[in-house]
Amino acid sequence: MIVTGSGRGIGREHALAYAREGAKVVVNDLGGDASGEGADLTPAQQTVEDIKAMGGEAVVNGDNVADFEGARRIVQTAIDAFGRLDTLVNNAGILRDRMLVNMTEAEWDAVIAVHLKGTFGPTRHAAEYWREQTKAGNTVDARIINTSSPSGLFGNAGQTNYGAAKAGIAAFTQICALELGRYGVNANAIAPVARTRMTESLGMGPAPEGATFDTLDPANISPLVVWLGSSEAKDVTGRVFLVAGDRIGVAEGWHRGPTAENNGLRWEPGKLGDVIPKLVADARPNAGMME
C-alpha cells in the first residue's frame, strides 16, 4: 500500500496504523515545509524505521505527488517492493493561506498542484495498474482513500486555494467511485480535523493539561482510514467522511433543494425577482465549519 505525505502528521499516523495491521507500506514524502518549499527524506525515513522497529515492512519514496511522472514512480515503488498494490491513501498537502484579494498566482498554483493534481496523479497510475490486472484476469479488491477537508466542504475564509482543491478532491472521489468500481476498486474520502504543523496557525494547540482524551491527536483519524482500506469496506464507496476526535460522520453533499419551474418556458430575468428570494428562503442555509 501507499500513503502519500506520510513523513509527518496525519499521514505518518496512517502509515503506522496500517503497519500495525500487517500492511506493507510505501512511505511517500517529499519532505518540504508546510508551504511546500524544500525537500528532505529524513521524516519519511524515520517513519520507515519506526515501522521496521515494530516488525513491519516499509520503504521510502521521496517523489513529488504533484509531478505526474513522480506519481507514476510512487505507484511503481509499491509494485516493485511488494509485488502488488491494494490500497492508495492520498494524504500529501501544503498550505499557503491568504485572503483572495492578496493571493498570488504562485500561491494558488502550488496548493492546487499538491492537493488536487497530487491526488489525481497517484490515483491515475494506480487505476491503470488495477485495470491492467483486471484485463489479465486477476481479481482486484482495491481501495482509494483521499483527503478532503471541512474547508472544502463548508468553506473557510483565507483558504480559497486550499478549499477549492479540497472540494475538487471530494468530487474527484465520487467520480472515481463511479468509474473504477468495474475494476474492483472502491474510492472514499475523509475530511479530518487534527493538530498538525499545517493547523498550528489555526489555534489547534496541545490538549489541556489533565485531559483524558486529546481530541486533536492526528492518530484519531487513522482508524477510519485503516477500516476504509479493509475488506469490510467493500460495499462502501463514493462517500466523504467527516472525522475529528471521537466523531465520525458522513457528509451528505449537494442535494437539489427548493425548485421552481416555468411551464416549459425560458425564464425572463424580470420575473426571477419574485422567484429566487423565495427559493433561498425555503432552502436550508449552507452548513458551516463548526457544525
The residues that are catalytic are 149, 162, 166
- Vertex 11 angle, CA 8 and 14, to 5°: 125
Q: Which residue has the cell 465520487?
A: 174
DSSP reduced 3-state for 90: strand
Q: Which of 137, 133, 159, 139 is nearest to 148 (CA)?
A: 159
Closest listed residue to residue 237, CA positions, set 149, 184, 179, 174: 174
In the block, residue with C-alpha cell 476526535:
245
User: In whole angstroms, what is the distance from residue 170 CA to residue 165 CA?
Assistant: 9
Identify the helix (H) or strand (E) that includes residue 95. none
